[in-house]
């Protein structure tokens, strides 16, 4: 076991989202992922174009529910709009529920948290689906299956917000992106030892595609209207409209 920062220990090639991770997740991810909280705000603003009265919106891999709650609060004047946060880890959903129930401003929001497998669960027709740094942890062999399901589940004119860590277009760019991201994490207070430990823990667990790889996957599912809405070093947010 090695410390990857923020009191989280992980083994080589065995990064997980259960155990000690959920209680430190919000702090750790907001330090690790550039523009993490700004991406939440951006998605809330984008939702103005897609969420209407009685809309359904999903967040796949909602972790501790921060974004789902922000979205529900942002759209609380739209009567009947329902936000559903899904995560496979019960500890994450437990924290999400606690956030909702212990905050007087949040507990009456029309948001539901579910422990489920997004590759297996039944989906209702939706106007918006969010995968916020989720797909990169899904095995590449079944990732296309999920994007296909998302496309099929969206209403015509609905949107997928796909935020992912991305690889460089070739080896030279990948070297540059890796070095820049390492510099970023050092500035955020991570030690060299924790950066190496985190990288080792993610072996075979985090498998990002390149920008073009993500676009190709979206196109294979049926999306043709695709645009980048956020980009910083090796982190990119796409919007794809059905």
Reply yes or no on whether the pLDDT at 33 is more than 60. yes
In Å, how far are 57, 153, 154, 155 from 124, measured between CA atoms? 9, 7, 9, 10
What is the tens place of the pLDDT at every residue in 153-210? 999 999 999 999 999 999 999 999 999 999 999 999 999 988 888 888 888 788 999 9
Residue 210: strand, helix, or coil: strand
**Average pLDDT of the residues of the chain:** 91
Contact 153, 124 (CB under 8 A): yes
Among 66, 24, 7, smallest CA distance to 190 is for 7
Query: Given this model, what pLDDT does residue 63 score?
Result: 94
* Lookup: tokens for 203: 């072996």
In terms of residues, how long is the chain? Answer: 242
Among 152, 147, 94, 105, smallest CA distance to 126 is for 152
Alpha helices in 75-120 (DSSP H): 90-101
Q: Which domains occur in the chain, in start order?
A: 33-167+208-241 (3.40.50.150)
Reply yes or no on whether the pLDDT at 2 is more than 90. no
Residue 10: strand, helix, or coil: strand
pTM: predicted TM-score of the whole model, two decimal places: 0.93
């Amino acid at each position: 076991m090695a410390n990857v920062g923020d009191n989280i220990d992980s083994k080589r090639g065995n990064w997980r989202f259960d155990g000690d991770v959920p209680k430190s997740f919000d702090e750790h991810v907001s330090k690790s992922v550039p523009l993490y909280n700004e991406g939440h705000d951006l998605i809330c603003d984008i939702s103005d174009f897609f969420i209407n009265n009685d809309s359904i919106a999903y967040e796949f891999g909602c972790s501790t529910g921060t974004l789902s709650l922000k979205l529900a609060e942002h759209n609380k004047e739209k009567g009947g709009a329902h936000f559903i946060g899904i995560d496979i880890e019960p500890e994450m959903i437990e924290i999400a529920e606690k956030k909702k129930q212990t905050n007087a401003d949040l507990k009456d929001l029309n948001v539901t948290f579910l422990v489920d497998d997004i590759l297996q669960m039944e989906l209702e027709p939706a106007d918006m689906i969010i995968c916020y740094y989720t797909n990169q942890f899904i095995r590449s062999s079944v990732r296309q299956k999920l994007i296909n399901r998302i496309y099929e589940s969206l209403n015509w004119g609905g949107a997928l917000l796909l935020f992912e860590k991305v690889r460089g277009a070739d080896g030279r760019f990948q070297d540059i992106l890796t070095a820049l991201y390492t510099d970023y994490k050092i500035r955020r207070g991570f030690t060299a030892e924790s950066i190496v430990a985190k990288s080792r823990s993610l072996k075979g667990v985090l498998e990002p595609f390149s920008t073009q790889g993500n676009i190709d996957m979206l196109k294979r599912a049926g999306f043709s209207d695709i645009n980048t809405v956020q980009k910083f070093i090796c982190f990119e947010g796409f919007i794809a409209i059905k």
